[in-house]
Amino acid sequence: MKRLVIAIDGFSSCGKSTMAKTLAKRLGYIYIDSGAMYRAISLFCIQNGLIHDGIVDESALQQQLPDVTVAFVPNAEGQPQTYLNGINVETAIRTLEVSNAVSLVSAIPFVREAMVKLQRKAGQDGGVVMDGRDIGTVVFPDADLKLFVVADAEIRAKRRYDELVQKGQPEPYEAILKNIELRDTLDQTRAVSPLRKADDAIVLDNGYFTLEEQDAWLMNQVNIKRDGSC
């Protein structure tokens, strides 16, 4: 049976990473969180003082980026953890501070070029589920299955709020909603690889889906694609 390349794009805090992880585990595929890559680079910028008053020092970042490593290493439960220069930053990259920086950093052309190369290399042999903003339009325009996930901003903000509370990193709901709305605007209007639905992507509005309903819907799409490629 053909091992598919599955691209999951969509707006921030739609639960793309969770659904991609679950789907990859169920299929026995590799899971790649492209957003975590950009978050790791954003964290690097914060740690090294490369962001001042909402502006990234692109010259300094371009000089240092070749020496920065981003990798995924599974933990004891088999869940991929993001490592920045050999250090586990899975928790650190999920903070609101990083969320506020990631749209700035991910819009830089040479950053996207470097990350896209890593993403394509990871998925070149198929059997991969990758989520992000431009996976189906730029990274894998010929992906076997493309999904585009949407949900109302208020629903996404509440999900993000609950997630941060559960992690012991609470932030005000209003600040989270503002961040999500800003990221939506920046992601859709940036000059390089803006967020948009690929022409052949299937839209999933998961605002009112249960996890069970979502998983069943996803597997149905995979099975349809598998049957068509046999």
CATH number at residue 90: 3.40.50.300
User: What six digits make up the tokens of 53?
Assistant: 């008053």
Helices (H), 48-108: 58-64, 96-106
3-class DSSP assignment, residue 83 = strand
Tally of domains within the chain: 1
**Each residue's pLDDT expressed in tens, for the chain with a length of 230 residues:** 789 999 999 998 998 988 999 999 999 998 888 999 999 999 999 999 999 999 999 999 999 999 999 998 888 877 789 999 999 999 999 998 999 999 899 999 999 999 999 899 888 889 999 999 999 999 999 999 999 999 999 999 999 999 899 989 889 999 999 999 999 998 899 888 899 999 999 999 999 899 899 999 999 999 999 887 65
Is 162:172 a contact under the CB 8 Å cutoff?
A: no
User: What six digits make up the tokens of 77?
Assistant: 């439960």
Entry pTM: 0.82
Sequential DSSP letters for 97-130: HHHHHHHHHHT-HHHHHHHHHHHHHHHTTS-EEE
Q: Can you give the residue range of the structural domain that contains 148?
A: 5-229
